Chain A
Amino acid sequence: MSAPVLFTASTLLSAYQSYQQGRAQEAMYDVQALQATAESERKALEYELRANDTLRSLRQRNAANIARGYGGGVVGLEGSSKLVETVNNREAGRDLMFDISNTKNAILQGQTQSEIYNTSADIARQSGILDAGAKLAMAGYGYQQIGGNPFGMQSVSPYKASL
């Protein structure tokens, strides 16, 4: 294989490698974006389940409270029973609201991270293309600077090689 052919082949391969590297990086970021979305949704679901649990616990407590009021001869929906219920509702409401916020935050965070990864993927792809282009340009310039015999293979020099 002649040197110019070897040079061209290795330059093209190197440029292609840079391009492929960019594409691989892009693919990796795409996967990471999907992972981030999945993870945030998993976390949002956990918060949702906990919020449901809070609601269920509140209903049980309030039912018990009413039952006890009526059982003690007190109107279950008035007086201390009502006070207990009010306090329960406030406490549970706070827990519930936090978990709802957590769910929203998890979704938002997942979306944001996913967007970031998508952007990274774009940059990686573009960087790969630019690097490959720069390599090709450099090789072309370098090859041009080597120069050659403008008269082809036939020597026009009158001098014989003495060494």
Chain B
Amino acid sequence: MAEDRRYRSRGITLESQGRLDLSNIQEGIRASQTLERRLDQVSELALGQMKRTAIKEGKQYGAQNRPSVQQIYDAIQSGKPVDELLADPDTVFGEAARGQQAGLLYQDLINEFNINTQGVLDAVNKREITDPAEVEQIINANIEGFGRVMAQIDPDYALKFRASAATTGFDVVDKAKKHIQTETVRKTRVDIDTQLNIFKSSYASIIERSPNPIDIEALTLVHENNLKGLFAQDPDKESEHLANFNKLKTEVLHDTVANYIVSNNMMGEASKDNFGKYNALLLAQDSMNPGTIDAIKSKINKVYDNQQNLITKQKEQANAMVDVQAAELIAGNSNGFITDEDLFTQLDSIGYTLSAKERADILSDQQPTIAQLDEYSNLELKVNLGQIGPSHLDEARLENRITYKQAAELKDKYNKTQTTLKAGNDIIYKTFRIDELELKQMGRDDPTRALIAEAQDMLDKRRIEVLRMQEQDPSIIFNQREEARAIAEKVKGEYIQSQAPVVWTIANRLLKDYPEYYNSEDAFLTLSEEQVKQMVMDNDKVSQRNKQRYAARIIEHLRKLKSYKLGVIPSEK
């Protein structure tokens, strides 16, 4: 086969050499990105550090340049923007400074709020506020007012303030309500007592004037309804008040009828169930309350007996007076101030009868023996100390241990010692660590003054009580020194026991920021006034302008408590 002489093109053309791998560009980009990332990190690190520094400095600035609450109030009142007093929150520094300022102002406002609420409670305790609604209104106004101020400074802190203040406020309102409620009940009870006393005299007068059951009911209806309305204001004791009221009516009726019968000398008639003008009333009462007539009869007997006793006592007292005067006269005669003749004349004029022996003793010039003089000295000391009385002196005279004249002198001394309570009063002053002059300088409301008056009154009552007992048993002695000491200690002790816990409760409330002393009375008592001042100065929670007042309050209670612990009642001057 012949070979092809033609060359045919094999279709070769310029071939593509493929795409270049531009790895240099990619690598360049990658390297650039890595470097950029790394540089970003460096920038962030540096920026973070700058931010931290700015925050720290901002906080320092905020603490050192914070406006006072008063400045904020003034700005609000004068219509100036509060923002001007505070740091600009648009920078990191400003934001930190503002946060610090807001935090400190928040604390100031909380402190001020707490002081105000305490003031409200004090006012409630002093009865300057008597309406729970008023307490609520004041607390709400405080929360609202302070809350608005805080809202202008920092809304977050405003919310926090409202939450915290609402909790405290609720407690205060609750306490105030309970206190006012207790006070109201107490006042109601005092009113009830007063009204019952008024009713008592009014009811007696009505029974006397109009002893007709229908008239009595008509005349007392309004008063009775008023009283029942008053009883209803004390629901816990309403039934007790009602029972007391009915008892009082019965007593008044019985007393009035009994007094009428006794004073008109109608005991004989009464024993035959004739009570004169009260017949209709008593029959009506007896039909409603069987046994009334019998009870009244018994009452009449008691009234009569009392009247007789009274007459007897009056006679005895008159005799005692004569004895006292006679003793003074005989003592005067013994000392040579009164002649025998004058003595007999004056004794006759006061109705004092001398026995023949007594007359002979007076006229006798016989001097006391040495033994009688010794016994006289011994008995005189006892009389001065209040250890013996007239019966002991009579006994000594009858046993001839002393002469008649000596006995009369000692009786006179006894009478003079017992008619004054100076010795007892001096002991009361000593117990209260005070003298008469200091007492006169004290204010009218000073508790010590009232307590001394109470102790003196108790001593006087005790003296009267012992004098009555002496009528039954002349050997009973009124030792006014012992009595005065016991009474004064009792009065003082009871007062301190009631007041010390109150003072501690108030002090403890003021100590809640100081855990070392809170709830620890003993630890609190170890504090000095200087330490208290320092403690309050160091407390950041108390605003600068309140520090002094706050410290003064704590110190006041510390002084009182220390004083009570020493058994001394602090002066209110």
A-side interface residues toward B, CB under 8 Å? 25, 29, 32, 36, 40, 43, 47, 50, 54, 57-58, 60-62, 64-65, 68, 84, 87-88, 91-92, 94-95, 98-99, 101-102, 105-106, 108-109, 112-113, 116-117, 119-120, 123-124, 126-127, 130-131, 134-135, 137-138, 141-142, 145
Task: Give the distance to chain A from B95, nearest Cβ to Cβ, in Å.
Answer: 22
Identify the interface centre among A25, A54, A68, A98: most chain B CB within 10 Å of its CB. A98
User: Can you identify 9 A-B contacts, CB atoms within 8 angstroms?
Assistant: A61-B5, A68-B5, A87-B6, A91-B8, A94-B9, A108-B17, A134-B42, A135-B38, A138-B42
Q: B14-32 interface mask toward A, CB cutoff 8 Å, 1 = contact, 0 = none?
A: 1101101111101110110
Q: How far is the CA of A23 from the CA of B419 in the complex (A)?
A: 124
Beta-carbon nearest neighbor of A134 in chain B: B38
Task: Give the distance to chain B from A36, nearest Cβ to Cβ, in Å.
Answer: 8
Contact of A98 among B13, B18, B26, B38 (CB under 8 A): B13
Contact A101 B14 (CB under 8 A): yes
Contact A102 B15 (CB under 8 A): yes
Tell me whether B205 is interfacial, beta carbon within 8 Å: no
Contact B7 A29 (CB under 8 A): no
Count: A-B pairs, CB below 8 Å: 115
Tell me whether B573 is interfacial, beta carbon within 8 Å: no
B-chain residues with CB within 8 Å of residue A119 when the two chains form the complex: 24, 27
B-chain residues with CB within 8 Å of residue A134 when the two chains form the complex: 35, 38-39, 42
Beta-carbon nearest neighbor of A101 in chain B: B14
Identify the interface centre among B5, B7, B30, B49: most chain A CB within 10 Å of its CB. B7
Contact of B9 among A64, A95, A101, A137 (CB under 8 A): A95
Q: B326-355 interface mask toward A, CB cutoff 8 Å, 1 = contact, 0 = none?
A: 000000000000000000000000000000
Q: How far is the CA of A88 from the CA of B24 in the complex (A)?
A: 46
Tell me whether B420 is interfacial, beta carbon within 8 Å: no
Tell me whether B209 is interfacial, beta carbon within 8 Å: no
Contact A113 B2 (CB under 8 A): no
B-chain residues with CB within 8 Å of residue A124 when the two chains form the complex: 27, 31
Task: Give the distance to chain B from A84, nearest Cβ to Cβ, in Å.
Answer: 6
Tell me whether B365 is interfacial, beta carbon within 8 Å: no
Task: Give the distance to chain A from B395, nearest Cβ to Cβ, in Å.
Answer: 79
Given contacts A124-B27, A126-B31, 16 further A-B contacts (CB under 8 A): A25-B27, A29-B27, A32-B23, A50-B12, A61-B5, A62-B5, A88-B6, A95-B12, A105-B14, A116-B24, A124-B31, A127-B31, A134-B42, A137-B42, A138-B41, A141-B46
Q: A113-B21, A119-B24 are in contact. Are A99 and B7 (CB under 8 A)?
A: no
Q: How many residues of B contact A (CB 8 A)?
A: 34
Q: How far is the CA of A58 from the CA of B7 in the complex (A)?
A: 6
A-chain residues with CB within 8 Å of residue B272 when the two chains form the complex: none
Tell me whether B10 is interfacial, beta carbon within 8 Å: yes
Contact of B38 among A61, A65, A131 (CB under 8 A): A131
Q: B139-183 interface mask toward A, CB cutoff 8 Å, 1 = contact, 0 = none?
A: 000000000000000000000000000000000000000000000
A-chain residues with CB within 8 Å of residue B9 when the two chains form the complex: 91-92, 94-95
A-chain residues with CB within 8 Å of residue B42 when the two chains form the complex: 134, 137-138, 141
Q: How far is the CA of A57 from the CA of B12 in the complex (A)?
A: 14
A interface: dominant SS: helix
B-chain residues with CB within 8 Å of residue A95 when the two chains form the complex: 9-10, 12
Q: How far is the CA of A127 from the CA of B49 in the complex (A)?
A: 27
Tell me whether B4 is interfacial, beta carbon within 8 Å: yes
Tell me whether B3 is interfacial, beta carbon within 8 Å: yes
Contact B21 A102 (CB under 8 A): no
Q: A84-B6, A138-B42, A141-B42 are in contact. Are A120 and B27 (CB under 8 A)?
A: yes
Q: How far is the CA of A126 from the CA of B17 in the complex (A)?
A: 30
Q: A98-B13, A141-B45 are in contact. Are A88 and B31 (CB under 8 A)?
A: no
Task: Give the distance to chain A from B161, nearest Cβ to Cβ, in Å.
Answer: 28
Task: Give the distance to chain B from A79, nearest Cβ to Cβ, in Å.
Answer: 13
Contact B45 A123 (CB under 8 A): no
Contact B49 A145 (CB under 8 A): yes
Tell me whether B306 is interfacial, beta carbon within 8 Å: no
B-chain residues with CB within 8 Å of residue A123 when the two chains form the complex: 24, 27-28, 31
Task: Give the distance to chain B from A21, nearest Cβ to Cβ, in Å.
Answer: 10
Tell me whether B34 is interfacial, beta carbon within 8 Å: yes
Contact A127 B34 (CB under 8 A): yes
B-chain residues with CB within 8 Å of residue A137 when the two chains form the complex: 42
Contact A61 B14 (CB under 8 A): no
Q: B356-397 interface mask toward A, CB cutoff 8 Å, 1 = contact, 0 = none?
A: 000000000000000000000000000000000000000000
B-chain residues with CB within 8 Å of residue A61 when the two chains form the complex: 3-7
Beta-carbon nearest neighbor of B49 in chain A: A145
Identify the interface centre among A109, A120, A124: most chain B CB within 10 Å of its CB. A120
Beta-carbon nearest neighbor of B2 in chain A: A68
A-chain residues with CB within 8 Å of residue B5 when the two chains form the complex: 61-62, 64-65, 68, 84, 88
Q: How far is the CA of A61 from the CA of B5 in the complex (A)?
A: 4
Task: Give the distance to chain B from A120, nearest Cβ to Cβ, in Å.
Answer: 4
Q: A105-B14, A138-B41 are in contact. Are A130 and B35 (CB under 8 A)?
A: yes
Contact A98 B14 (CB under 8 A): yes
A-chain residues with CB within 8 Å of residue B30 when the two chains form the complex: 127
Identify the interface centre among B15, B23, B41: most chain A CB within 10 Å of its CB. B23
Contact B12 A54 (CB under 8 A): yes
Task: Give the distance to chain A from B474, nearest Cβ to Cβ, in Å.
Answer: 75
Q: A116-B20, A117-B23 are in contact. Are A64 and B4 (CB under 8 A)?
A: yes
Contact A130 B10 (CB under 8 A): no
Q: How far is the CA of A53 from the CA of B21 in the complex (A)?
A: 32
Task: Give the distance to chain A from B9, nearest Cβ to Cβ, in Å.
Answer: 5
Q: How far is the CA of A10 from the CA of B15 in the complex (A)?
A: 53
Contact of A120 among B2, B10, B24 (CB under 8 A): B24
A-chain residues with CB within 8 Å of residue B38 when the two chains form the complex: 130-131, 134-135, 138
Cβ-closest 8 pairs across A and B: A127-B31, A65-B5, A88-B7, A109-B17, A119-B24, A134-B38, A61-B7, A120-B27
